[in-house]
C-alpha cells in the first residue's frame, strides 16, 4: 500500500470530524475576531467597522483591569492551594493505614460532583441566615453572629476559592498518587540506607518522579481557573460589588446582558490570548521538566 493512499485515506476518515470542528469552533473563532472590530449588537444586523476602538476602550477601562486582577487572584490562589493539598493528600494515601482503599474511592466524589451542584452545595453551606458554616462557627464560638460569607466583598472571593479547591484538589491528588506509585521501591529504600531524611527524600528522590505529571495537572488546572465561569455565576454572579467578577463573567455581561457583541468579542479574544500564552508557556516548561526528569 502506498503511503500517499494511506495519507489520503486518513484525511478522508478525519473529514467528518474536521468539518464539524470547522463549523462549530473554527468559524465562530474567526467571526469573533471580525466582530471584535465592529460595534455590532447581539440582536439586529451588522454593526460598523470601528477598528481597534473596542480594544483601546477595554484596556483603559477599570472594569477590565479589576476583572483581570480578580481572575489572576482566583487562579493563582486556588491552583496553588489545590496543588499543595493534592500533593499532601497523595503522600498520605501512599502510606499504609486502615481504610486506605475506602479513602481513595472517596477522593473521586468531589471531583465527580457536577460543578453546578458543587456551587449550589457551597452556597447553601455559606447561607447567611441558615447556613451550616455559620451554625458550626457560632456553636464552637469562633464567630459572634451569623455572617454573609458570599455577601461581603472581603470574604466572597475566599469563600469561592475554598469551594473550588474542595472540588478540584482530588484531581491533583489522584494524578500525584498514580505518579507516586510509579516510584520504584528499591530507590526509596536505597536513599534510606544512605541516610536521607524525609525532606531530602521527598525533594531529591520522589519529586523528580512527580514533576512531569504534576506539571500536567498544573497546566490543566490553571487553564480551567482562568476560564472560570460556572462556579462564580452560581455562587455570586460576580458580586458583591463586582468583587468576584472574573473575565469570563465580564464577557458574559458585556455580550449578553448588555448585548454589546462587538466589545464582548474583543474582551473574549483577550481572555483567549491570555489562556493561550499561559498554555504555550507551560507547554515549554513541561517539555523542559520532562527532559530533565528523563
Partner 1 sequence: MERRSLLASILIHAAALLLAAVIVAPIFWLFVMSISPAADLVARPLRWWPGTMDFSRYATLLSTIPNSAGANFVASLVNSILVAGMATVAAVVLAVPAGWAVSRTPSVGWSLSLVIATYMLPPVALAVPLYMALAAFGLLNSVFGLALVYLTILAPFTTWLMKSGFDGIPREIEQAAMMDGASLLATLRIITLPLAMPIVATAALFAFLLGWDEFFYALLFTSDQRARTLTVAIADLAGGRVSDYGLIATAGVLAALPPVLVGLIMQRALISGLTSGGVKG
Whether residue 32 contacts residue 40, with contact meaning beta carbons closer than 8 Å, is answered with no
Neighbours of 161 (CB within 10 A): 23
In this structure, is the dihedral angle defined by the CA atoms of residues 70, 72, 74 and 76, taken in order, positive or negative? negative
**Binding positions for partner 1, 143-162, rule CB under 8 A:** none
Interface pick for partner 1 out of 17, 48, 142, 284 (rule CB under 8 A): 17
Neighbours of 88 (CB within 10 A): 14
**Binding positions for partner 1, 200-259, rule CB under 8 A:** 212-213, 215-217, 223, 226-227, 229-230, 233-234, 248, 251-252, 255-256
Interface pick for partner 1 out of 56, 59, 76, 117 (rule CB under 8 A): 117
Whether residue 64 contacts residue 267, with contact meaning beta carbons closer than 8 Å, is answered with yes
Interface pick for partner 1 out of 59, 84, 190, 290 (rule CB under 8 A): 290
Q: Does 96 bind partner 1 (CB under 8 A)?
A: yes
Q: How far apart, in Å, are the Cα atoms of 122 and each of 80, 133, 168, 225?
A: 20, 10, 14, 18
Window contacting partner 1 (CB under 8 A); options: 52-60, 61-69, 152-160, 168-176? 168-176
Q: Nearer Cβ to partner 1, position 138 or 155?
A: 138
Q: Nearer Cβ to partner 1, position 126 or 157?
A: 126
Q: How far is the CB of 226 from partner 1 (least distance, A)?
A: 8
Q: Does 121 bind partner 1 (CB under 8 A)?
A: yes
Q: How far is the CB of 121 from partner 1 (least distance, A)?
A: 5
Q: Does 58 bind partner 1 (CB under 8 A)?
A: no
Q: How far is the CB of 283 from partner 1 (least distance, A)?
A: 9
153-180 and 207-226 helices cross at what angle (nearest 10)? 140
Interface pick for partner 1 out of 56, 59, 178, 200 (rule CB under 8 A): 178
Q: How far apart, in Å, are the Cα atoms of 194 and each of 190, 198, 201, 205?
A: 6, 12, 10, 12
Q: How far is the CB of 260 from partner 1 (least distance, A)?
A: 10
Cell of 20: 464539524
3-class secondary structure, 159? helix
Burial code of 147-160, b = ≥16 C-beta within 10 A, e = fewer?
Answer: bbbbeeeebbbebb
Q: Does 112 bind partner 1 (CB under 8 A)?
A: yes
Q: How far is the CB of 219 from partner 1 (least distance, A)?
A: 9
Amino acid at each position: 500500500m502506498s503511503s500517499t493512499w494511506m495519507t489520503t485515506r486518513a484525511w478522508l476518515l478525519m473529514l467528518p470530524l474536521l468539518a464539524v470542528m470547522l463549523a462549530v469552533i473554527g468559524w465562530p473563532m474567526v467571526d469573533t475576531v471580525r466582530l471584535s472590530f465592529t460595534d455590532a449588537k447581539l440582536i439586529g444586523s451588522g454593526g460598523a467597522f470601528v477598528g481597534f476602538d473596542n480594544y483601546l476602550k477595554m484596556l483603559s477601562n477599570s472594569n477590565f483591569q479589576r476583572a483581570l486582577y480578580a481572575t489572576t487572584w482566583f487562579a493563582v490562589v486556588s491552583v496553588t492551594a489545590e496543588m499543595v493539598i493534592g500533593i499532601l493528600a497523595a503522600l498520605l494515601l501512599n502510606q499504609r493505614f486502615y481504610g486506605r482503599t475506602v479513602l481513595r474511592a472517596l477522593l473521586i466524589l468531589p471531583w465527580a460532583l457536577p460543578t453546578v451542584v458543587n456551587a449550589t452545595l457551597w452556597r447553601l453551606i455559606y447561607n447567611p441566615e441558615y447556613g451550616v458554616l455559620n451554625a458550626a462557627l457560632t456553636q464552637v464560638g469562633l464567630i459572634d453572629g451569623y455572617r454573609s460569607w458570599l455577601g461581603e466583598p472581603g470574604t466572597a472571593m475566599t469563600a469561592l476559592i475554598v469551594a473550588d479547591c474542595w472540588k478540584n484538589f482530588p484531581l491533583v491528588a489522584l494524578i500525584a498518587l498514580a505518579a507516586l506509585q510509579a516510584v520504584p521501591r528499591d530507590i526509596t529504600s536505597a536513599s534510606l540506607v544512605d541516610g536521607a531524611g524525609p525532606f531530602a527524600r521527598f525533594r531529591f528522590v520522589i519529586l523528580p518522579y512527580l514533576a512531569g505529571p504534576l506539571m500536567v495537572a498544573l497546566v490543566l488546572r490553571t487553564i480551567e481557573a482562568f476560564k472560570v465561569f460556572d462556579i462564580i455565576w452560581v455562587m455570586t454572579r460576580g458580586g458583591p460589588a463586582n468583587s468576584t467578577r472574573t473575565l469570563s463573567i465580564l464577557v458574559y455581561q458585556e455580550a449578553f446582558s448588555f448585548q454589546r457583541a462587538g466589545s464582548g468579542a474583543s474582551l473574549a479574544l483577550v481572555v483567549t490570548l491570555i489562556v493561550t500564552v499561559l498554555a504555550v508557556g507551560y507547554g515549554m516548561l513541561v517539555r523542559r521538566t520532562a527532559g530533565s526528569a528523563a
